[in-house]
Amino acid sequence: MIENSFYYIKQKDIKIEDVKNILDFNLRLKLSNESEERINSSRKFLEDKIKDDTNLYYGINTGFGSLCNYPISNGDLKKLQLNLVRSHACGSGDEIDPLLVKIMLLLKIKSLSLGFSGIKRETIERLIFFFNEDILPVIYESGSLGASGDLAPLAHLSLPLIGEGYVNYNGERQKTKDLLKQFDLSPIELGAKEGLALLNGTQFMSSHAVWAAITMNRVFDWVNYVSALSLDAFNCGLSPFDKNVHELRPYVGQKRIAKTISEILHNSDLHSVENKDVQDPYSFRCIPQVHGASLDSFEDFVSKTIIEINSVTDNPIIIKDQNKIISAGNFHGQPLALSMDFMSIATAELGSISERRIYKLISGTRGLPEFLIKDPGLNSGFMIPQYTAASLVSKNKVLCHPASIDSIDSSNGQEDHVSMGSIAGVKLMSIIKNIERILSIELLVAAQAFDFRKSRTSSPFIDLLLKDFRKVVSFLENDQVMHELMERSLCFLQNHELKKS
């Protein structure tokens, strides 16, 4: 809920659009009264339980992983949690994007605020402080197996709470202890279960899924517009987009894509072009079926992501109303791992069919010059951008190997099946970035092709798109460094606001 530049963390679900708004408008987080009460109540229940109860509770008064049967004395419970955060900060590789870190913070705060984790409100408030002040812990890409939660990445997320590790602040990497001094803050003293509540969870995986959901919403808009421009430039028939066709095979995505393409091309004189081929290549004719299947997969992916980011995914879980502390497996990333692997395939297919349209547009058919250049032979024109698109498509095919089919035994066999969801998330992010590049090449090529149809006009939507595009990328008269044109096209695709109505 948004009020006066604050987003209140409540007990109701947070949506993908909420996350986007929080990031876009730099909203500050604040706990609702109800969330504060649930957090405090859960913490009091846990403290009373371990004070008066001699039972062993995993990770609260026992060791971790395969050391779960080692009891820990009450006097060592704080040290146990401190040791956990330090020992599990084993990230490796590249630093992840600070935007992903900010999403991780938001999702961790949301999960802990539901009141089933037994964490102190002061600890959550420090996480909120980090989020609001853009103090972003340094987190590394590799280290999580996606099962005991994202242990290593979340350990790095938690290190600054105890005054250790590094953060990015105001564009600079700093030691946490130095930054805390700037704000006159002391490290948090973790109590029983707090380190475990912080480290168990799927927020590394989930942050990648949320980023993918936000980005793919925009990518699908571009998929529709760019493919519509290609249809127009290639003088394609529009009968494959007739709604009667899709009522006979009523997949939701297929129907939506056909309808959207028809709307984008409404009033284009493509409808009146004579002497068209009887049928177009599949990469044009089957746009509703191929793009639509990916859109259906995306909708399923988003629904699973929403479930995940509104769930309790640490362990053990505190069920105060039933006087229970339950050790279970909500930290296992299998639902997200499978979903992100499938989304990787669905996304890669958008790039695969896009590259085929690029290939057709430069092929020297349907009245277009070879490689879309006025003097082919002397000029190579758009010959090699197609190579680049093909290279990116091939790379995506390799990245589509599912991470979720792998599992490596860990923690002396206690954690004997893992999801590798973190790897699925990293791969999905790479595939989406490649798709943006492929689509930007198709946009570049389709715009060039349409400029050879000087006697024709397109729809108002496409005309406006081309007018704006030509402000940053000119028609290619003679060969030049194509990388620069491709980068301008990519920048245009990533930043231009499409007119949708």
Residues identified as active-site: 58
The label of the residue with tokens 């020297």 reads 364
Looking only at Cα atoms, what is the longest distance across the chain?
87
For residues 155 and 89, the answer to whether their CB atoms sit within 8 Å is: yes
Instruction: Let me know: does 127 contact 109? Beta carbons within 8 Å.
Output: yes
Q: Are 188 and 128 in contact (CB under 8 A)?
A: no
Report the amino acid identity of residue 174. Answer: Q
d(CA 303, CA 300): 5
- DSSP assignment of 180-249 equals HHHTT-PPP---TTHHHHHHSS-HHHHHHHHHHHHHHHHHHHHHHHHHHHHHHHTT--SGGG-HHHHHTS
SS3 state of residue 31: strand
Q: Are 249 and 293 in contact (CB under 8 A)?
A: no
Residue 99's contacts (CB-CB under 8 Å, 6 or more residues apart) are 23, 211
Cα separations (Å) of 246 from 241, 250, 261, 293, 325? 8, 6, 13, 13, 52
Please calculate the CA angle 77-81-82 and round it to the nearest 5 degrees: 115
CB atoms near residue 278 (< 10 Å): 5
57-62 long-range Cβ contacts below 8 angstroms, 24+ apart: 57/316, 57/325, 57/327, 58/315, 58/316, 58/327, 59/84, 59/193, 59/196, 59/200, 59/315, 59/316, 60/192, 60/193, 60/196, 60/316, 60/325, 61/192
Cis peptide before 71 (omega within 30 of 0): no
In angstroms, the CA 146 to CA 152 distance is: 10
Query: Could you tell me how many helices (H) and strands (E) the chain has, helices first?
Result: 18, 10
Helix residue ranges per DSSP H, 53-97:
77-88
What's the CA gap between 129 and 124, in Å, rounded? 9
